[in-house]
Amino acid sequence: MPKAQRNTTSQHRRPSAALARLVSQAPALRSALLAWYRASHRPLPWRTAPSLYKTVVSEFMLQQTQVETVLPYFARWLEQFPDFKTLAAAREEAVLRAWEGLGYYRRARLLHALARALAPLSTPPRTPAAWLALPGVGPYTAAAITSIAFGAPAAVVDGNVVRVLSRLLGDRTEYKDGSAAVKALTPAADALLNHVHPGDHNQAVMELGALVCTRRKPLCTVCPFVSGCAAAAQGDPEALPRFAAKKTARVALTRLWIERDGALLLHRKSGSARRLAGFCELPEASSLPTAKIEKKPLAVKRRTIVNHLFVESIHRATLPPRTPDPAADSVGGFLWIPWTKMDAVTLSGPHRRWIGELRKILG
């Protein structure tokens, strides 16, 4: 076992017997899983007329995002950027605009960088190790892409797979986070992998977690793994996997709504910002200390980014007479955006939605 997967504590030794049991059951489980997948999988657009490009785009979009959310974005993306070459040649602003609303925008930038790395190649790499050297590709993505596109014998482990495997093994370890669970359960994923049909197998395990072995009210009676599932036998599959409680930090922000001559004042984050680099949002009050702010907010909005809950209070405000125009300083990042050009601006998804809502209310 790789060094990173060793653990000498008793709670991490317990699954070893379950892993040995899984190895003995693996042939029957693989067969049952593949039969279920071929009869029950969803006809998703990246599975119909599959291609390497479709696989790559779907894997990036599906990271931390549900299938239902991804579907319309995937369709529009393929229309605008039908292949690696087109995507590689696109400007970053166009790429981010097409991604707007999906969140976790670093994925879009990395997908863009990956396209630029792949476009000049006469043939794409075919092994997980080679893909790991490319921008934005980690172990999960490398395994998913190469197993689906090239039949590489590499097992994937994402949140759905963690749930399926922890229940199958009856693993009651309390993991610090998803990354720790992925690391610990990778040997089980490797042991279960169907080396003849690795791509279908990986998609099947993820599909099983999405449709049957769900977080709440799993459909154990129709699960192809039910006969070998320790959690189903114990009657408490919803209890697994187990994770330590996460702490969420609350961040309060005051945002300003400043209009002038048919334009709204926005603030563009710098390209080096940790989050939402290059995106426009309503300016924070702290960035315009001379603004006269109405006490009653127009709206109070909430959004969660990673483990932070942002509570954003939006207030109408004005700039006192003779106040220097904040947009005159190109370094500051302030922009007056005419309402007629708001659709062309790259906004964070929540702020585009909030601005649209308030515009309708305010007229």
174 in active site: no
Per DSSP bridges, beta strands 249-257 and 280-281 are: unpaired
Of residues 59, 100, 207, 312, which has the active-site annotation? 59
Residue from 140, 125, 121 nearest 60 by CA? 140
Whether 269 contacts 203, CB under 8 Å: no
16 alpha carbon, distance to own chain's centre = 31
Sign of the Cα torsion 320, 322, 328, 331 reads: negative
Amino acid identity of 147? S
Q: Residue 88: phi, psi to the nearest 5?
A: -60, -35
Cα dihedral value 339, 344, 350, 355, nearest 10: 0
**Distance (Å, whole) CA 169 – CA 228:** 9
**Residues marked as catalytic:** 59
